[in-house]
Amino acid sequence: MKKIVILISGRGSNMQAVVEANIAQAEVVAVISNRADAAGLQWAEQYGLATETICHQDYAGREAFDTALMARIDAYQPDLVVLAGFMRILTPEFCNHYAGRLINIHPSLLPAFPGLHTHQRALDSGCRVAGCTIHFVTAELDCGPIIAQGVVPVLGNDTADALAQRVLRVEHELLPQAVADFVAGKLVVEGNRVNNLSMADIDDSIFLKN
């Protein structure tokens, strides 16, 4: 059984998708938030999961917070740490400590639009498609090896909120699948590329549709 710790900062709908997927040979051992008012924490508690809040404002700086966060995470001895809407920039020490077992979901088709306000930036840039990316986390923000990407169309009358909703539905499918692939040992990192041994069928279906 692989142990998973999920970090959130807010709503937690991606965390919920992972938990409800009941991934074989995987157990979500804790949900940790940097904000006590994160709605996802309540959901996780009601579901019966271990939850913790480690408020970044209680620490003198980024290093001190990340050190404390690492200590709390490591108490669960996780095989995988999932950033599911965890809205903190992490120190290189944190990223290196979890190298190869830390993944993030980001609401854009990386390497386009790292950082914040991704949907508005996609609209402002005239993109015809948008989407989300799941990647291994490295010290450089939103830059690690890409595990999976989901694509949606940008429609003529889109607002950032409408586009975010469309992308979020794809996020909820993609993240549990990526976690399942990790747990099943199907993700092989080669340099900056991830060889996903379960992706061949998906790639075929995309090409066939087009």
* Residues with catalytic roles: 106
Residue from 2, 4, 5, 10 in contact with ligand GAR (CB under 6 A) = 10
**In this structure, what token pair is assigned to residue 83?**
């950033």
Taking contact as CB under 6 A, which single stretch among the options 10-18, 44-52, 123-131, 200-208 is the one that binds ligand GAR?
10-18
Q: Is 168 in the site for ligand GAR (CB under 6 A)?
A: yes
Runs of H (alpha helix) within the chain: 13-20, 39-47, 62-74, 92-97, 118-124, 160-183, 200-209
- What are residue 124's phi and psi, to 5 degrees? -65, -25
Distances (CA, A) of 115 to 4, 68, 108: 25, 24, 9
Taking contact as CB under 6 A, which single stretch among the options 5-13, 88-96, 146-154, 176-184 is the one that binds ligand GAR?
5-13
Q: For residues 65 and 37, what is the distance between their CA atoms, to the nearest angstrom?
A: 18
| Residues between 99 and 118 that touch ligand GAR (CB under 6 A) | 105-107
Contacts of 73 (CB under 8 A, 6+ apart): 5, 7, 30, 32, 81, 98
Q: Is 78 in the site for ligand GAR (CB under 6 A)?
A: no
Q: Is 171 in the site for ligand GAR (CB under 6 A)?
A: yes
Shorter beta-carbon distance to ligand GAR: residue 66 or 171: 171
Binding mask 127-166 for ligand GAR (x = CB under 6 A): -----x----------------------------------
